[in-house]
Amino acid sequence: MTRLGESVARASELLTQDLSSDTTVERLLAVTAARRYLDLTDLSAKEQAALIAGRTVDVVPSPEKLAEQIDAVQAKGRGLVVKLGIDPTAADVHLGHTVPMIILSRFQRMGHDVTLIIGDITAKIGDPSGRSAERPPLTDQDIAENLAGYRDQVKPFFDFERVNFRRNSEWLAGITLPQLIGILSQVPASQLLQRDDFRTRLAAGSGLTMSELIYPVAMAIDSAEIDSDIELGGVDQLLNMQMGRKVMEIYGKKPQMIATVPLIEGTDGTGAKMSKSKGNAVALSSTPDDVFGKIMSIPDRLMVPYLRAWTEWTDAEIESAVARLEERSLHPMDLKKVLAGEVVAVLHGVPAAMAARAGFVAQFSRKSFADVDSLPVADVAEHGAETIATVLTKVLEFTPSASAARRLAKQNGLKLVVEAASGQRTVLVAEADAVRPLAEVLGEALAGAGLTGADGGVRPTSVFLKAGRKLAQLQGFQQL
């Protein structure tokens, strides 16, 4: 049995047990966390290709060809040259950025040679993929600062000590105009203009610069210069990576294979890609409690995609957990706590994951939200005339847009929680009410639920505004 097979056997046994038990979960996290550093060189070429293909959207030309290529290079006494290009465009890194790094780690532990291309030239152009406008170019200082932050934050997912770093300025800075024209003369303009984002911008009358057209060609030259065997990238990079195959043919080299990774949906469940600007990302610099809580806030339907993206669980283990959900021998909340523990464990360790788990359970098993320490407070006298969306932004730092607040309300994630002597009641905030004044919505909600104390109604003792898992206590509601 392989080392991975032994680990899977231990974890599979634990997955059949009570996953509401802290003891069982701690043992499971210890096994799966150790798997992130497991030597995978004893896997056959077919097993390696299957493990990679199982976490990608597609492998071009096919997983079978990948297995054949692994066999071929190993017969020559080497591993695959695996390429990932990084344009260091931001200093803040979130979980979405780690998806390719986890797959790269698998390649690395299988004995292959990972090369990270630092796009210090292409970052100055800016990758146009998925953009509605040209991106401002970065300076050398921007690139250096962003790269330092990226490496420091992503290192829990990837061993940077066993990687070949190359800057594409090594070859792109010295390329001559005749060389560039020679390459471009063999690249059909139609191939560059087939991108949906380019066509959309042109149809809308937006600008499209020559530098953006050349970007995928410059990125493709990187592949030819390092003799890439396979390139890894998001599905939004597919056309760029296919250009790599084309340019390698122009160079007279064997075209690289391609492995695309999924773009992961954000925690808000709206369908939007995880992004800091959308407020639906989990920053790698977040505290264990914050990471745990944000994962716990996701809709249940995202549990499987998140397990596939950020854990070292195999397909068989995920299928086993899903089967237990379907037969109702495993509660979704218990599986989600395991998932949250997995993410915290890779960033902060298993003890921190178990502490965050205990803290979450302690907080959300309380009978009264009023028992929770240090809640943010919104005074109705001060904020009553503001829309609920505005209060969310100011008090809970929840979202920068009214549309995001409306989406949350549409998903029944925006609530007023009213506590009285008789217990706790929840009033859903309608989508349209998310952009109405807080005082109006609160007054109507209390009156409609018979909670104003008038005409025999029950007078509330505490009122809270709940957005996802974020909570603010409302003061001054007695005057409504």
Mean pLDDT of the chain, nearest integer: 85
Q: Which of 70, 92, 91 is nearest to 82 (CA)?
A: 70
Q: Which of 428, 267, 372, 383 is nearest to 393 (CA)?
A: 383
Which backbone phi and psi does 451 adopt, to 5 degrees? -115, 25
- Give the model's pLDDT for residue 88: 66
Helix (H) or strand (E) holding 167: strand 164-167
pLDDT grade, residue 270 (50/70/90)? confident
- Give the model's pLDDT for residue 132: 42
Q: Are strands 113-118 and 81-86 parallel, antiparallel or unpaired?
A: parallel
- Give the model's pLDDT for residue 133: 46
Helix, strand, coil shares of the chain, percent, nearest 5, are 55, 15, 35
- Give the model's pLDDT for residue 334: 93
- Span 317-351, pLDDT tens digits: 999 999 999 998 999 999 999 999 999 999 999 99
Tokens representing residue 111 in the block:
């004995």
Q: Does 113 or 198 have the greater pLDDT score?
A: 113
- Span 89-104, pLDDT tens digits: 666 788 888 899 999 9
Q: Which of 262, 221, 217, 224 is nearest to 240 (CA)?
A: 217
Residue 381 has pLDDT above 70, yes or no: yes
How many DSSP H helices and E strands does the chain contain?
A: 22, 11
Q: What is the CATH number of domain 371-479?
A: 3.10.290
Q: Could you check whether the bond before residue 188 is cis, i.e. omega within 30 degrees of 0? A: no
Least confident of 39-53, 232-246, 364-378: 364-378
- Give the model's pLDDT for residue 131: 47
CATH 1.10.240.10 location in the chain: 1-37+269-365
- Give the model's pLDDT for residue 153: 82
Residue 253 has pLDDT above 60, yes or no: yes
Angle at 194 between CA 190 and CA 200, to 5 degrees: 130
Residue 70 has pLDDT above 60, yes or no: yes
CATH 3.10.290 location in the chain: 371-479
CATH 3.40.50.620 location in the chain: 57-261
Q: Which of 306, 353, 313 is nearest to 332 (CA)?
A: 306
pLDDT grade, residue 452 (50/70/90)? low
Residue 457 has pLDDT above 60, yes or no: no
Q: How far apart are CA 266 and CA 275, in angstroms?
A: 7
- Give the model's pLDDT for residue 400: 60
Least confident of 166-180, 237-251, 432-446: 432-446
Q: What is the CATH number of domain 1-37+269-365?
A: 1.10.240.10
Q: Let me know: does 341 contact 354? Beta carbons within 8 Å.
A: yes
- Give the model's pLDDT for residue 126: 54
CA 86 to centroid of chain Cα atoms: 16
Q: Is 190 exposed, middle or buried (0-12, 13-18, 19+ CB in 10 A)?
A: exposed
Q: How far are the Cα atoms of 42, 55, 124 from residue 308, in angstroms, in the given order?
A: 22, 7, 33
- Give the model's pLDDT for residue 292: 94
- Give the model's pLDDT for residue 114: 95
Angle at 418 between CA 417 and CA 419, to 5 degrees: 120
CATH T-level assignment (fold) for domain 57-261: Rossmann fold (3.40.50)
